[in-house]
Amino acid sequence: MTFTPHTIDPDLDLELVRETDVAPELVWRAWTEPELLTQWFTPKPWETPVVEVDLRPGGKFHTVMRGPGGEENDNTGCFLEVIPNERLVWTGALGPGFRPQTGPLLFTGVQVHSYCRIQNAVVLPYVDIGRYARLANVIVDRGVKIPAGLVVGEDPEDDARRFRRTSRGICLVTQRMLDRLDG
């Protein structure tokens, strides 16, 4: 798989660049050798006790970050592009072998209230998910307010009536679609 980078749009994208006087080979080793990655990957007092690197396109990139109170953040992703000493691209949206992750992918600013169940979902930024909502096999558009108790992904006919549903059972949920339910 070849990765094609997008072009930075200065009106929409923020690009952070930091230039350092370090040999590319050393930077490459710091990112690709687990025994080096564990030394710097998380800020103190956090630590990275687990690192797995299968350095090939489609290969696994797995880290576990542990906080001072014992809390853990387990992350598994997939390398998209591997060009030694030049380019290393990975994502958390895909698992090893370019397979979609099975858990929910929640973007910045997503608020999930108590007693919710979210499976196989992509929830874009600034979504508010009300109590007792059950969401499965969904993509939720940016800024949507999911009402308490809403169920999506359990009844194909009901989903197709209320939302845009693909032939593979994935539902797109937008605020406009939800507003039509109230009206």
Collect all residues with Cβ–Cβ distance below 8 Å to 151 and sequence separation of at least 6.
Answer: 133, 134, 135
pLDDT of residue 18: 82
pLDDT of residue 101: 76
Collect all residues with Cβ–Cβ distance below 8 Å to 31 and sequence separation of at least 6.
Answer: 37, 88
State pTM to two decimals. Answer: 0.56
H helix and E strand count, the chain = 4, 15
Block mean pLDDT (10 aa), the chain, length 183:
63 81 94 95 93 95 94 90 92 81 82 92 93 94 96 96 91 95 76
pLDDT of residue 152: 97
pLDDT of residue 3: 46
DSSP state letters, 38-100: HHHSS-TT-EEEEEEE--STT-EEEEEEE-TTS-EEEEEEEEEEEETTTEEEEESSEEGGGEE
User: From CA 124, how far away is CA 139, in angstroms rounded?
Assistant: 8
User: From CA 28, how far away is CA 37, in angstroms rounded?
Assistant: 10
* Core vs surface per residue 133-142: b (16+ CB within 10 A) or e: bbbbbbbbbe
- SS3 category, 154: coil
CA angle 48, 50, 53 (to 5 degrees): 110
pLDDT of residue 73: 87
Question: Dihedral angle at the C-alpha atoms of 137, 182, 144, 157, nearest 10 degrees?
Answer: 10
pLDDT of residue 107: 85
Give the chain's radius of gyration (CA, Å).
Answer: 20
pLDDT of residue 6: 63
